[in-house]
Structure 1
Amino acid sequence: MTESADSKPSSRERILVAAATMVSENPTARLSVRAVAARAGVSTGSLRHHFPTQRALQDAVLAGIYGLAFPSDPIHDTDTPARDRLVGCLRQIIAPVGTGQQAREALGTTYRMLIAAEPTEDTRQAYLAIERQMQHRVEHWLSVLADEGSLPEGDNAQRAKFLLTVINGLTLERALPGSESALISENATLFAAVDSVLSG
């Protein structure tokens, strides 16, 4: 029995799978048009048809990765208070970092790639793409809360930047030795940050 044409992945799907695979193999991969097209088995023209710019391709790949990483988004669970939902969403960002040795290894990798030496243009672009996608994700959560009336009017881009700065600090704390449980301290910090945002 032969596979029908409908069951074969489209060229757009093949491009996204190829690009996501390249990112998983090397998180700093630049995703050049030629390399991704070759990996996907499509022409560069086909890739440009679906993704006119490199940024469009990077954003689509990262959106797919985050969609797989966070399949059930708690922001839509209106049976839970807005405060708890937003904290739950922020925990999704920090959870993959782990704690203790796992967090130290993650921080060490980040330090070597982005801080110890001058980042390459490829490294810089990869980091900016991830940062942009995280910003979009947090802004989305805030817009959901604003639409339902749980968040006063304001600059959601600035609020998202603030919350991501808190997350960056908590990520660092997870890797450092502390006098108390990092998770207990982290919980209090997340609620304080969310309360600050929700109060206007």
Structure 2
Amino acid sequence: MSTRDELVQAAVRLARKSGYGALSVRGVAREAGVGATTLRHYFPTQAALHHALSTELVTSVLKDLAIEDDTEDPAVRLYDCLEQFLPEPSREISSRGHWFDLYRTALAPDAAPALKNVLRSAHGASTAAVRRWLMVLAGQGHVAEEDIDDHAAYVLAMINGLHLCAVIEPERFDLPRERRLLRWYVHQLLAR
């Protein structure tokens, strides 16, 4: 019998191989080599499956890196963590498996409503990661603890905006400019 983690990994493989639009109970069960009943045992609803998939995708991509290393510049540490939301310079924006594909698929006019749940869950997991990084910096005296929720909301609004711009006009997406913007924001956040 498959475990919950094996089923989530099958969903991740399917999303990376065939895109987020391929995520269905039957598709994931087929990828895992189990019946839909087994999948439903662990994930009674498609929303539960999408939430587990989103959380796994986000946590497998967003690492804490050196956020806790107080010997390094806090702006560099936070920037390095946030930069994980941007594509790698060698990666096409349209490549499967990146944030932009999730945005493009979930926000398409013909998108299955359940894919918005994937995006919503991914946003929740992203928010948790950003809050965790800011909490570390707050514990080190670099950020006021009472400002963490606002800072997390601001930085994710900016990152979401960058993602939307890349989805709408991928040919005009300027990765070096986006990196400069993110670096500027981090310096503003930590300047007190």
Report what 1:94 is aligned to.
Answer: 86
CA distance in 1, matches of 2:102, 2:28: 25
Which of 130, 136, 149 does residue 128 from structure 2 map onto? Answer: 136
Task: Write the deviation string for residues 57-94 of structure 1: whole angstroms up to 9, x where unpaired.
Answer: 43433333334434562323332121111111111110
Task: Write the deviation string for residues 151-180 of structure 1: whole angstroms up to 9, x where unpaired.
Answer: 1022533322211222234453794549xx
How is 1:70-109 mapped onto 2 (pairs within 5 angstroms)?
Answer: 70=62, 73-96=65-88, 98=89, 102-103=92-93, 105=94
CA distance in 1, matches of 2:52, 2:108: 29
Report what 2:109 is aligned to.
Answer: 117
- Segments of 5+ residues of structure 2 without an aligned counterpart are none
C-alpha change, 1:83 and 1:11, in structure 2 (3 Å) is: same
CA distance in 2, matches of 1:112, 1:64: 19
C-alpha change, 1:83 and 1:112, in structure 2 (3 Å) is: closer
Which of 3, 14, 17 does residue 22 from structure 1 map onto? Answer: 14
With normalisation by structure 1, the TM-score equals 0.67
| Partner AA of 2:20 in structure 1 | P
Which of 150, 163, 166 does residue 158 from structure 2 map onto? Answer: 166
Identity %: 27
Cα pair 1:28 1:126 within 8 Å, conserved: no
Cα pair 1:30 1:126 within 8 Å, conserved: no
Which of 133, 147, 152 does residue 144 from structure 2 map onto? Answer: 152
Computing the radius of gyration from Cα coordinates, the structure with the larger value is: 1
Question: Cα RMSD between the aligned structures?
Answer: 3.8
How many residues get paired?
185
CA distance in 2, matches of 1:56, 1:111: 19
SS at match of 1:102: coil
C-alpha change, 1:35 and 1:113, in structure 2 (3 Å) is: closer
With normalisation by structure 2, the TM-score equals 0.70
SS at match of 1:28: helix
